[in-house]
Structure 1
C-alpha cells in the first residue's frame, strides 16, 4: 500500500470513529431513557447478587417505590 492511500484511509478513519462514537452515545442515551429507575435498580441488584451471592435478597416491593 502506498503512503498516499494509507493517509487517505487514516483520514477516513479519523472522521468515522468520532461519528460512530457519537451515534453510540445517542443510542445509549435513548436506551437509558426507556428504562424505569426501579427496573434499573432491580437489575443492578440482581447483577451484584450474581457476582457476590452473600448479598441479601431484596423483594420487588422495595424497589418499586
Structure 2
C-alpha cells in the first residue's frame, strides 16, 4: 500500500503498471511504502515494469 501523495510521475507509473499486471501497485497488502520512501517506491515500480515481476517480488 502507498501512504503518500500521488504525483504525476506516480500516476504515469500506475497506468503503465496496471496495463502490464492488471492492478495498480498500491493494491498489495504485504507491500507498504510511506511518503519518506517515495524514491524507493518509484524505483521498485520501475524495476517491476522492466523485469516483468510484480512489486512484491522486486522489493528490497
- Structure-2-length-normalised TM-score: 0.27
- The structure having more radius of gyration, on CA atoms, is 1
Structure of higher RCO (CA pairs closer than 8 Å, 6+ residues apart): 2
Q: Which has the higher strand share?
A: 2
Q: Which has the higher helix share?
A: 1
